[in-house]
Amino acid sequence: MSEPHANRLTPERLRTIVESAHLNFLIGAGTSVPYFAPLGNIEQALTDLADASGSDGAKLLVRASIQAYFFENVLVPNTKVIEREASAESVLRSYATFVRTLNRILLRRHSTLLSKQANIFTTNVDMLFEVAMEELGIDFSDGFSGKIRPKFDLGDFNTLRFRMGSRYEHRFEVPVFNLIKIHGSASWRQQERANRKSDIYFDHGLTLVWEVAGQLDAARQHLLPVLVDPQPQGQGPTIRSTTDLLTEAERRFEDLKVLGTQESTSAAVEAFSDGYGKLGIVNPDKRKFATTVLNETYYELIRRFSNEMEKENSVLFVHGFSFRDEHLRDLVLRAARTNPTLQVVVFCYSRGGLKDYEVLLPDTEVKNGNIQFVIPDEPGEGLVERKINL
């Protein structure tokens, strides 16, 4: 924070927090921009579609068209991330620098009362953390146990790890990161059991993403263009209004009836939609809270996040997260109100972004004053605005 702010986060204050608090991070979509496209108004568009009236076929076509945009811009690029392609090198390097720095901080912690662990909660479904940690050889728990066919198991989190010297049997704790992907991951593959419940397996080569990409190629010619043309400046991707999309979809189906190709079009679109539904992710719409509650796995991850916020002397560092997810925003606000020892430190990407955060996290709702915002300093004369990246 700039010098005039009395409560600015100084290096000394930050050092004290890190030394004595349970460390938690909340990482949002803004952290992985520009490699992954921002969501823009995709959430609102899918929510409006669910509430809109229209034929089942038209709504399926519109939903699949919007999901296709999300799939191509947020899920497919992960195939390049796991292959360490040159296009992903810059964003991977920033994640690796962050994780390596945090690993060194945990190693130097002097407190014997706190374990050398940090929780990284993220709403992102990308593979950047996994690839960066694996390249560095850092110990982390992502909830999966097993080697041949890793299966998601919540008991894998919060596991302490120690190394022992081969000669004197000296034992020391090594840092461990708990990577908790609240909204699922591109590498999660759901498989239904006989009792209608489903297990989640780790999909090493993103084979399901490749399968769905093939189904998308087959359906692409039938899908609608979903972006406003031209795009508004500075708003992220803007999806056309639901009314316009549904009107075009109904008109498309009327034309297909005349041509006699309605069934083949519906089959291709439905195949892509079904394949997309097998991905282990929470869809980006305003109804995702219902998804997290109904699905046992997502519910447990949300509960884990809530439990960590309620621990005494915890800190939550927030980066790239807009707090427009109501269920997570409400959890953080409630924890800040009920746990005076919790510190929430929100890093704003730019000075202009502070106003949006202050509207969503108003000081009037936090009686303990334990939510802080960190913004870049005002640039000197002739200098460009600074931004806070990872």
- Give the model's pLDDT for residue 360: 93
- Give the model's pLDDT for residue 86: 94
Rounded-to-integer distance, Cα 183 and Cα 28, Å: 11
pLDDT tens for each residue of 79-137: 999 999 999 999 999 999 999 999 999 988 877 788 899 999 999 999 999 999 999 99
Name residue 33's amino acid: V
pLDDT tens for each residue of 161-206: 777 776 666 777 888 999 999 999 999 988 877 776 778 899 989 9
Rounded-to-integer distance, Cα 39 and Cα 48, Å: 15
Rounded-to-integer distance, Cα 355 and Cα 351, Å: 8
Domain boundaries, the chain: 22-283
pLDDT 10s per residue in the chain (390 long)? Answer: 444 444 578 888 888 888 889 999 999 999 998 899 888 888 889 988 988 988 888 999 999 999 999 999 999 999 999 999 999 999 999 999 999 999 999 988 877 788 899 999 999 999 999 999 999 999 999 999 888 899 998 877 877 777 777 666 677 788 899 999 999 999 998 887 777 677 889 998 999 999 999 999 999 999 999 998 888 776 678 999 999 999 999 998 888 777 677 777 788 999 999 999 889 898 877 666 566 555 778 888 999 999 999 999 999 999 999 998 888 999 999 999 999 999 999 999 888 889 999 999 998 888 898 999 999 888 888 888 888 888
- Give the model's pLDDT for residue 196: 66
Q: Are 15 and 315 in contact (CB under 8 A)?
A: no
60 sits in the region (left: phi over 0; alpha: psi -120 to 50; else beta) called alpha
Dihedral (C-alpha) 117, 123, 129, 130: value to the nearest 10 degrees? 90
Residue 250: burial class (beta carbons within 10 Å; 0-12, 13-18, 19+): middle
Q: Are 46 and 238 in contact (CB under 8 A)?
A: no
Q: What is the pTM of this model?
A: 0.90
